Amino acid sequence: MHSLLYTHSACLRHSAGPGHPESPARLQAVLEALDHDRFAMLERIEAPRATRAQLERAHDPALVDFVAAAAPVEGYAQLDADTAMSPDSLEAALRAAGAVCAAVDALLDGSASRAFCAVRPPGHHATRDMAMGFCLFNSVAVGAAHALARGLERVAIVDFDVHHGNGTQDIFWDNAGVLYASTHQAPLYPGTGAANEIGVGNIVNAPLPAASSSFAFREICRDIILPAVERFRPQLVMISAGFDAHYLDPLANLNLGAPDYDWITRELVDIARKHAQGRVISSLEGGYSLTALRESTAAHIGALIG
């Protein structure tokens, strides 16, 4: 089984400013975790830029124009209280979204079964018309929309980042071809993701209260998330892989560990084998403890590639 790793040096150069938790060190920690004999079979590929047409399948043209115009020549441009751009941020965001689209093409063309996009900035808070929550473009949503444009009828996105992916939910709110299933801490930023937010029946939210355990996470996945994905019979499984539900993470209060990321990934791979010819694409979202990122990435990718 051939597996791919997409990344780009621009994703290491993007900066949201000194002291910002979404720092280049995050991606460096992920890449260090993957620089191991265990992952030698991963084919490393330089992520291409997303095209404007690809971006506009998920985003309003005005947002694409806004992000491009906001990119500073030097220093930082503040988009909101949490989200900022440096001179390399636009390139990083284009490469992040382009990585997921390229992974979709590779899997649909049959050249691989699994792919991980080691990219930043993260994407799942970017809505159809707004950059927010450290996110400029919604890379997974852009990739899912690209998969539909390539002819797939059912794409499942599973988001286990500790923060709800309000942007992905917004983009696919009334699109029955995409299942968005999220488990996340609530209450917590951005304040969305209640169980009664269901779109056209394609949105599945399973919030967890602060201090929830590994047992609670696995239970809610077994009872709600995984059965929903199974019923959907996806032709492609995509993962918004945030690792900030880890007990070491400084921005949230759940108590997951690396074995939980191994477990949920194996469960999703099993569903993909049954319904999606084994096709799974994962893309990095949050995670702000470098130790947790190294441990969780290794567990997740180990399970992803088998």
Pairing mode, strands 280-284 and 236-241: parallel
- How many whole angstroms separate alpha carbon 189 and alpha carbon 81? 13
Given the residues 8, 14, 125, 246, select the one marked as catalytic.
Answer: 125
Please state at what angle helix 139-149 crosses helix 89-108, rounded to 10 degrees. 40
Q: Which residues contact 57 (CB under 8 A, 6 or more apart)?
A: 142, 145, 146, 148, 149
Q: Which amino acid is at 288?
A: Y
Burial class (CB in 10 A: 0-12, 13-18, 19+), 35: exposed
8 counts as catalytic: no
Nearest to 183 by CA among 209, 154, 206, 201: 206
Decide if 288 contacts 295 (C-beta within 8 A). Answer: no
175, 274, 294 from 184: Cα distances, Å:
22, 26, 21
**Strand ranges (DSSP E) for the chain?**
3-7, 43-46, 77-78, 84-85, 114-117, 155-159, 178-185, 203-208, 236-241, 280-284
Instruction: Return the active site residues.
Output: 125
